[in-house]
Amino acid sequence: MGQTDMIAGLRQDILRMQGQRLVTGPSAGKVALGPVLEAFPGKIFPTGTVHECISATPSAAAAASGFIASILGSLMQNGGSCVWISPERIIFPPGLKSFGIEADRVLFIHLKKEKDICWAMEAALQVEGLAGVVGELSNLDFAVSRRLQLAVEKSGVTGFVVRHQPRRLHPTACVSRWQITSQASYHPDGIPGVGFPCWEVELQKIRGGKPGSWELVWMDGCFQELSRASVISSQAIFRKIG
Protein backbone atom coordinates (compact mmCIF):
# COMPACT_ATOMS: atom_id res chain seq x y z
CA MET A 1 0.00 0.00 0.00
CA GLY A 2 1.44 3.31 -1.02
CA GLN A 3 1.71 6.30 1.21
CA THR A 4 -1.01 8.20 -0.62
CA ASP A 5 -3.48 5.34 -0.16
CA MET A 6 -2.71 5.24 3.51
CA ILE A 7 -3.28 8.96 3.89
CA ALA A 8 -6.54 8.70 1.97
CA GLY A 9 -7.63 5.88 4.27
CA LEU A 10 -6.77 7.89 7.36
CA ARG A 11 -8.70 10.87 6.00
CA GLN A 12 -11.75 8.69 5.60
CA ASP A 13 -11.35 7.47 9.16
CA ILE A 14 -11.23 11.03 10.43
CA LEU A 15 -14.37 11.92 8.47
CA ARG A 16 -16.21 8.95 9.91
CA MET A 17 -15.18 9.97 13.42
CA GLN A 18 -16.52 13.45 12.72
CA GLY A 19 -19.89 11.92 12.01
CA GLN A 20 -19.74 12.24 8.26
CA ARG A 21 -20.26 9.27 6.08
CA LEU A 22 -18.99 9.02 2.57
CA VAL A 23 -22.18 8.29 0.71
CA THR A 24 -21.95 5.21 -1.43
CA GLY A 25 -25.64 4.40 -1.70
CA PRO A 26 -27.97 5.17 -4.60
CA SER A 27 -28.08 8.85 -3.73
CA ALA A 28 -24.31 9.18 -4.14
CA GLY A 29 -23.24 11.50 -6.88
CA LYS A 30 -26.76 12.56 -7.75
CA VAL A 31 -26.09 16.16 -6.94
CA ALA A 32 -24.24 17.57 -9.92
CA LEU A 33 -22.59 20.74 -8.70
CA GLY A 34 -20.07 20.80 -11.51
CA PRO A 35 -16.72 22.24 -10.50
CA VAL A 36 -17.76 22.66 -6.87
CA LEU A 37 -17.61 18.90 -6.36
CA GLU A 38 -13.82 19.16 -6.38
CA ALA A 39 -14.00 20.80 -2.98
CA PHE A 40 -15.77 17.95 -1.22
CA PRO A 41 -14.08 14.97 0.33
CA GLY A 42 -14.32 12.11 -2.14
CA LYS A 43 -15.64 14.57 -4.77
CA ILE A 44 -19.21 13.73 -3.76
CA PHE A 45 -21.70 16.23 -2.36
CA PRO A 46 -22.06 15.27 1.31
CA THR A 47 -25.64 14.14 1.81
CA GLY A 48 -26.84 13.05 5.22
CA THR A 49 -25.37 16.14 6.86
CA VAL A 50 -26.46 19.66 7.74
CA HIS A 51 -25.36 22.55 5.54
CA GLU A 52 -25.43 26.18 6.52
CA CYS A 53 -26.16 29.00 4.14
CA ILE A 54 -25.76 32.69 4.94
CA SER A 55 -27.73 35.49 3.31
CA ALA A 56 -27.72 39.19 4.08
CA THR A 57 -30.34 40.76 1.79
CA PRO A 58 -33.75 39.59 0.54
CA SER A 59 -32.31 38.96 -2.90
CA ALA A 60 -29.42 37.02 -1.39
CA ALA A 61 -32.04 34.95 0.43
CA ALA A 62 -33.71 34.32 -2.93
CA ALA A 63 -30.38 33.26 -4.41
CA ALA A 64 -29.82 30.92 -1.47
CA SER A 65 -33.33 29.50 -1.89
CA GLY A 66 -32.65 28.90 -5.56
CA PHE A 67 -29.33 27.21 -4.90
CA ILE A 68 -30.79 24.95 -2.22
CA ALA A 69 -33.84 24.23 -4.38
CA SER A 70 -31.58 23.07 -7.20
CA ILE A 71 -29.77 20.67 -4.84
CA LEU A 72 -33.09 19.48 -3.39
CA GLY A 73 -34.43 19.01 -6.90
CA SER A 74 -31.79 16.43 -7.64
CA LEU A 75 -32.24 14.77 -4.23
CA MET A 76 -36.01 14.49 -4.84
CA GLN A 77 -35.68 12.87 -8.24
CA ASN A 78 -36.93 9.46 -7.15
CA GLY A 79 -40.25 10.77 -5.90
CA GLY A 80 -39.13 11.74 -2.42
CA SER A 81 -40.61 14.65 -0.53
CA CYS A 82 -39.05 17.39 1.51
CA VAL A 83 -39.95 19.74 4.33
CA TRP A 84 -39.38 23.50 4.16
CA ILE A 85 -39.72 25.30 7.49
CA SER A 86 -39.91 29.10 7.47
CA PRO A 87 -41.32 31.86 9.66
CA GLU A 88 -43.84 33.01 7.04
CA ARG A 89 -45.17 32.13 3.65
CA ILE A 90 -42.57 33.49 1.25
CA ILE A 91 -41.50 30.64 -1.04
CA PHE A 92 -43.59 30.75 -4.21
CA PRO A 93 -44.27 27.12 -5.17
CA PRO A 94 -44.54 27.68 -8.96
CA GLY A 95 -41.06 29.24 -8.88
CA LEU A 96 -39.56 25.96 -7.69
CA LYS A 97 -40.46 24.16 -10.91
CA SER A 98 -37.53 25.66 -12.79
CA PHE A 99 -35.21 24.07 -10.23
CA GLY A 100 -36.64 20.63 -10.83
CA ILE A 101 -38.98 20.51 -7.84
CA GLU A 102 -42.60 19.40 -8.06
CA ALA A 103 -43.86 21.79 -5.41
CA ASP A 104 -46.75 19.55 -4.37
CA ARG A 105 -44.18 17.22 -2.84
CA VAL A 106 -42.86 19.95 -0.55
CA LEU A 107 -44.44 20.38 2.85
CA PHE A 108 -44.24 23.97 3.99
CA ILE A 109 -44.30 24.56 7.70
CA HIS A 110 -44.74 28.10 8.96
CA LEU A 111 -43.66 28.78 12.53
CA LYS A 112 -43.21 32.14 14.18
CA LYS A 113 -40.73 31.33 16.92
CA GLU A 114 -37.15 30.35 16.15
CA LYS A 115 -37.22 27.87 18.99
CA ASP A 116 -40.15 26.07 17.39
CA ILE A 117 -38.40 26.07 14.03
CA CYS A 118 -35.37 24.40 15.62
CA TRP A 119 -37.60 21.83 17.30
CA ALA A 120 -39.55 21.10 14.12
CA MET A 121 -36.36 20.88 12.11
CA GLU A 122 -34.83 18.39 14.50
CA ALA A 123 -38.00 16.29 14.43
CA ALA A 124 -38.10 16.38 10.62
CA LEU A 125 -34.42 15.47 10.29
CA GLN A 126 -35.08 12.32 12.28
CA VAL A 127 -37.53 11.00 9.68
CA GLU A 128 -35.72 8.48 7.54
CA GLY A 129 -36.45 8.64 3.86
CA LEU A 130 -37.05 12.38 3.51
CA ALA A 131 -35.11 13.89 0.63
CA GLY A 132 -34.26 17.02 2.57
CA VAL A 133 -35.22 19.48 5.24
CA VAL A 134 -34.77 23.25 4.93
CA GLY A 135 -35.03 25.54 7.92
CA GLU A 136 -34.93 29.32 7.72
CA LEU A 137 -33.67 30.90 10.91
CA SER A 138 -31.35 33.73 11.68
CA ASN A 139 -29.55 32.44 14.73
CA LEU A 140 -28.11 29.01 15.22
CA ASP A 141 -26.01 28.30 18.27
CA PHE A 142 -23.55 25.49 18.55
CA ALA A 143 -25.70 23.29 20.77
CA VAL A 144 -28.65 23.40 18.35
CA SER A 145 -26.45 22.69 15.34
CA ARG A 146 -24.99 19.75 17.23
CA ARG A 147 -28.48 18.37 17.88
CA LEU A 148 -29.35 18.70 14.19
CA GLN A 149 -26.11 16.95 13.26
CA LEU A 150 -26.86 14.08 15.66
CA ALA A 151 -30.34 13.72 14.16
CA VAL A 152 -29.04 13.37 10.60
CA GLU A 153 -26.28 10.96 11.61
CA LYS A 154 -28.96 8.45 12.50
CA SER A 155 -31.41 9.08 9.68
CA GLY A 156 -29.19 10.11 6.77
CA VAL A 157 -31.42 13.05 5.77
CA THR A 158 -29.79 16.11 4.25
CA GLY A 159 -30.50 19.34 6.10
CA PHE A 160 -30.08 22.97 5.11
CA VAL A 161 -30.13 25.89 7.49
CA VAL A 162 -30.69 29.20 5.75
CA ARG A 163 -29.54 31.96 8.05
CA HIS A 164 -30.91 35.32 7.05
CA GLN A 165 -28.99 38.27 8.49
CA PRO A 166 -27.30 36.32 11.29
CA ARG A 167 -26.33 38.38 14.31
CA ARG A 168 -23.05 36.60 14.86
CA LEU A 169 -21.25 33.89 12.98
CA HIS A 170 -20.24 31.36 15.59
CA PRO A 171 -18.61 28.10 14.68
CA THR A 172 -21.33 25.48 14.26
CA ALA A 173 -21.40 21.73 13.90
CA CYS A 174 -22.61 22.03 10.32
CA VAL A 175 -20.54 20.33 7.67
CA SER A 176 -20.28 23.41 5.49
CA ARG A 177 -21.01 27.10 5.28
CA TRP A 178 -22.11 28.62 2.01
CA GLN A 179 -22.71 32.14 0.88
CA ILE A 180 -24.56 32.65 -2.36
CA THR A 181 -24.61 36.05 -4.07
CA SER A 182 -26.43 36.92 -7.24
CA GLN A 183 -24.39 37.75 -10.30
CA ALA A 184 -25.43 39.29 -13.54
CA SER A 185 -27.40 36.75 -15.51
CA TYR A 186 -25.89 35.05 -18.50
CA HIS A 187 -27.04 34.00 -21.90
CA PRO A 188 -24.72 32.00 -24.14
CA ASP A 189 -25.79 33.84 -27.28
CA GLY A 190 -25.80 37.24 -25.71
CA ILE A 191 -29.53 37.76 -26.24
CA PRO A 192 -30.72 40.93 -24.49
CA GLY A 193 -32.91 40.65 -21.44
CA VAL A 194 -32.56 38.61 -18.27
CA GLY A 195 -30.86 35.28 -18.98
CA PHE A 196 -30.00 32.24 -16.93
CA PRO A 197 -29.40 32.95 -13.25
CA CYS A 198 -25.77 33.22 -12.20
CA TRP A 199 -24.44 33.08 -8.67
CA GLU A 200 -21.18 33.49 -6.94
CA VAL A 201 -21.10 30.37 -4.80
CA GLU A 202 -18.72 30.80 -1.93
CA LEU A 203 -17.93 27.73 0.11
CA GLN A 204 -16.48 29.34 3.21
CA LYS A 205 -16.11 26.20 5.26
CA ILE A 206 -16.18 22.51 4.44
CA ARG A 207 -15.24 19.74 6.76
CA GLY A 208 -12.50 17.59 5.26
CA GLY A 209 -12.47 19.53 1.99
CA LYS A 210 -11.10 22.66 0.40
CA PRO A 211 -13.12 25.89 0.61
CA GLY A 212 -13.34 27.97 -2.51
CA SER A 213 -15.41 30.29 -4.64
CA TRP A 214 -17.01 29.68 -8.02
CA GLU A 215 -19.18 31.49 -10.48
CA LEU A 216 -21.96 29.16 -11.54
CA VAL A 217 -24.78 29.45 -13.99
CA TRP A 218 -27.98 27.38 -13.65
CA MET A 219 -28.75 26.40 -17.19
CA ASP A 220 -30.86 23.58 -18.61
CA GLY A 221 -31.34 21.96 -15.23
CA CYS A 222 -27.69 21.71 -14.22
CA PHE A 223 -24.84 23.84 -12.95
CA GLN A 224 -22.06 24.97 -15.22
CA GLU A 225 -19.12 27.11 -14.41
CA LEU A 226 -19.44 30.44 -16.09
CA SER A 227 -16.99 29.75 -18.87
CA ARG A 228 -14.00 32.03 -19.09
CA ALA A 229 -14.32 32.15 -22.83
CA SER A 230 -17.74 33.77 -22.78
CA VAL A 231 -16.57 36.32 -20.23
CA ILE A 232 -13.60 37.17 -22.40
CA SER A 233 -15.74 37.45 -25.49
CA SER A 234 -18.16 39.82 -23.80
CA GLN A 235 -15.20 41.89 -22.65
CA ALA A 236 -14.02 41.90 -26.23
CA ILE A 237 -17.35 43.31 -27.32
CA PHE A 238 -17.04 46.09 -24.78
CA ARG A 239 -13.58 46.81 -26.03
CA LYS A 240 -14.86 47.04 -29.56
CA ILE A 241 -17.53 49.47 -28.50
CA GLY A 242 -15.11 51.45 -26.43
Partner 1 sequence: MQRFMSIWFPHLLAEGMIRRRKELSNTAFVLAAPDHGRMRITAASIAAQARGIYPGMAVADGRALAVGLQVLDHEPGMDQKLLTALGHWCIRYTPVVATDLPDGLLLDVSGCAHLWGGEEKYAADIQNRLKGLGYTTRIAIAGMVGAAWALARYGKEPVVLTPSGEERLFLMSLPPVALRLEATIIERLQKLGLYTIGHFMNMDRSILRRRFGVGLLERMDQALGWKEEPLTALQPVEPYQERLPCLEPIMTRSGIEIALQQLLKILCERLIKEGKGLRKAVFKAYRIDSEVQQIEIGTHLPSQQPAHLFKLFELKIDHIEPALGIELFILEAPSVEKARSSQKTLWHNGTLNDSRLAELLDQLTGKLGKGIVHRYLPAEHFWPERSVKEAQELQEQPATAWRNDRPRPVRLLSVPEPVEVAAPIPDYPPMHFRHRGILHTIKKADGPERIEREWWIDQGQYRDYYVVEDEKGERFWLFRLGHYTGGKPHRWFLHGFFA
32 binds partner 1 (CB under 8 A): no
62 binds partner 1 (CB under 8 A): yes
Identified binder of partner 1 from the candidate list 71, 96, 151, 217, rule CB under 8 A:
96
Identified binder of partner 1 from the candidate list 40, 45, 99, 214, rule CB under 8 A:
99
| Closer by beta carbon to partner 1, 38 or else 77 | 77
5 binds partner 1 (CB under 8 A): no
Q: In sequence order, which residues have a C-beta less than 8 Å from that of residue 49 and are 6 or more positions away?
A: 19, 20, 149, 152, 158, 159, 174, 175, 176
CB 57 within 8 A of CB 162: no
The amino acid present at 201, given as its one-letter code, is: V
Residue 206 C-beta: closest distance to partner 1, Å: 22
The pairing of beta strand 212-219 with beta strand 222-225: antiparallel
Binding residues with partner 1: total (CB under 8 A): 61
105 binds partner 1 (CB under 8 A): yes
Q: Using alpha carbons, select from 75, 66, 56, 100 the residue that is nearest to residue 185.
A: 66
How far, in Å, CA of 66 to CA of 135, rounded?
A: 14
Residues that bind partner 1 (CB under 8 A): 57-63, 65-67, 69, 79-81, 83, 88-99, 102-111, 116, 119-120, 123-124, 126-131, 181-185, 192-195, 197-199, 218
